Structure 1
């Protein structure tokens, strides 16, 4: 097992803010390297996000939407960014209902992970939604979503076709596979 050591820690010497937007900010840090030299690090700051593996009648709820950065439609699990100071579990419940119309009677944490630690600090919290009941969807004004419940086999096929190609949804499908095999998650 690797030991934590400060010998490889990079110390920030200077931070230059580059951009601050509605969702992210970008900064360039000058860091002192362990051997004494310096380097620059481009860092995207993000408030974090919550995502939901929602299963109903043996199927997974998904949303399909156009993703401009990739210039294609993408199938994903319901998810969204955290509001300032928002609890990730509350954000997961909010996003599930806003995007799909379903409410979770129970939410269980599955995992939390950094989406792109080489350049971003976004941490995503993944939850399992149980005891679903229909509420009313209310997507954001600029969100245009198609909601569907898909089978495990469809999810696997969509991964092969790269219609599902984001890490959170692929991780959710693998968690679902473990749940199907073991009854536990």
Structure 2
């Protein structure tokens, strides 16, 4: 199957929010039938595996969508003109106060490709210098440190989330953990 056998007959944005747009594409499928494929279009995000000595820096925050307090890797939206490394360094400083001496891009992934138009880059931040966080007015989180040896267990524990699990697995696969 190729893109040529899946023709877009119509693309409709049904709503726009300050966070994302949503809509559908009317697609002609390979058998000639048509179907609406619904999507949400989100800006790119970055997830940071911040390494400080024998620890990985996590944040904990309440996520109203799942009604749980979640241990997560620091993360945020990539702003216009930023690459993943720059966005990762900025988000790490804003959320945790740590300034990174080096930031290395691990991988970029497309997220939930059945419904989202959303790209996520994963980076590793090292050579950290502590400082003061600069949280957005709607960010309520606390910084915690997890031993590198325990990072995968923390990422897999309920309530597990995809971004944190992906980041930890990529970092482990590339020899950082």
TM-score by length of 1: 0.87
Which residue of 17, 33, 44 maps to 2:40?
44
Which runs of 5 or more structure 1 residues have no equivalent in the other structure? Answer: none
Structure-2 separation of matches of 1:135 and 1:158? 25
1:51 and 1:184 map into 2 onto residues whose CA distance is 15
RMSD, aligned CA:
1.9
- Which one of the candidate residues 117, 124, 136 is aligned to 1:121? 117
Match of 2:91 among 55, 78, 95: 95
Counterpart among 65, 70, 77 of residue 66 in structure 2: 70
DSSP-derived class of the 1:139 partner = coil
State the partner residue of 1:5: 2
Structure 1 consecutive aligned stretches of length 4 or more whose deviation exceeds 4 Å = none
Indicate yes or no: 2:12 matched with 1:22.
Answer: no
Post-superposition CA distance 1:66-114 (Å, at most 9, x none): 1111111111101001223432221111100000000111111111101
* Contact 1:66-1:74 within 8 A present in 2 as well: yes
Count of equivalent residues: 177
Does structure 2 retain, via aligned residues, the 8 Å contact 1:18–1:27? yes
Query: Post-superposition shift, 1:147?
Result: 0.2
Q: CA deviation at 1:162?
A: 1.0
Equivalents in 1 of 2:153, 2:94: separation in Å?
27
| 1:177 and 2:176 matched | no
Whether the 8 Å CA contact 1:46–1:120 is kept in 2: the answer is yes
TM-score with structure 2 setting the length: 0.91
